[in-house]
Amino acid sequence: MAPVPGSGLAKGLAVTLRTMTKRSVTAQYPDTQPDLPPRTRGVIGLFEENCTVCMLCARECPDWCIYIDSHKETIPAATPGGRERSRNVLDRFAIDFSLCMYCGICIEVCPFDALFWSPEFEYAETDIHDLTHERDKLREWMWTVPAPPALDPGAEEPKEIAAARKAAEKLAAQQQAAAAEPTEPAAPTATEPHAQEQARAAEQPTRPAGESKQQTDQPRQEGRE
């Protein structure tokens, strides 16, 4: 069936008419902050304690906008005769957000969870050099990182939490078992009979030194004769 002439125009005018009759809704930004999705890519925060200076994020960055400097320190041996070890100490960690394209590769490849997405996006600057955030500024962004979403009801418990919970339950069970056991009197030790024998021997009269039992009994026999 051939379309009716002018039907497309009528449909377009109907959409325009419905839109014109609706009340417009305007977000009053910046007085009202927008409701951002939970996985919004705003700015990158650095958790410095987890960083091991492995340089993996800087090597994988396609824009080369991550700058890392470090030095090595020698750790003395923990035991006598042990071997000294060296570890990397972070000196500088900076991200140039004027070059960053927010791909998230650095966060994904970090093996120690030192980088996180923050939903904050209000960090525009009048000078492009101020868009290079050093590690102190990146640490401040960590306070704006939202908590991770809750797991699904049917999801498995994380291994770290499960291990900690089992250890706590085992310790509590041991403490309850120790408190429920009755206290029994202590059994006499092997040294107590020996001490009693020594006490009885001390109460008996002692003979003069150098005299045997035959010597002490000999005068008595002579007197009887």
**Could you tell me which residues are annotated as the binding site for [4Fe-4S] cluster?**
51, 54, 57, 61, 100, 103, 106, 110
Residue positions forming the annotated binding site: 51, 54, 57, 61, 100, 103, 106, 110
Task: Name residue, tokens 């320190």.
Answer: 73
Instruction: Indicate if the alpha-carbon torsion angle 114, 117, 119, 121 is positive or negative.
Output: positive
**Is residue 4 classed as helix, strand or coil in its secondary structure?**
coil
**Is residue 29 classed as helix, strand or coil in its secondary structure?**
coil
Q: DSSP letters of 19-46?
A: HHHSPP----TTTS-----TT---EEEE
- CA-CA distance, 139 to 45, in Å (whole number)? 6
Name the phi and psi angles at 7, rounded to 5: -70, -35
Name the phi and psi angles at 90, rounded to 5: -75, 125
Q: Is residue 185 reached through a cis peptide bond, with omega within 30 degrees of 0 on the bond before it? A: no
Rg, the chain, Cα only = 43
Burial of 69 (0-12, 13-18, 19+ CB in 10 A): exposed
Kindly report the length of the chain: 225
DSSP 85: E
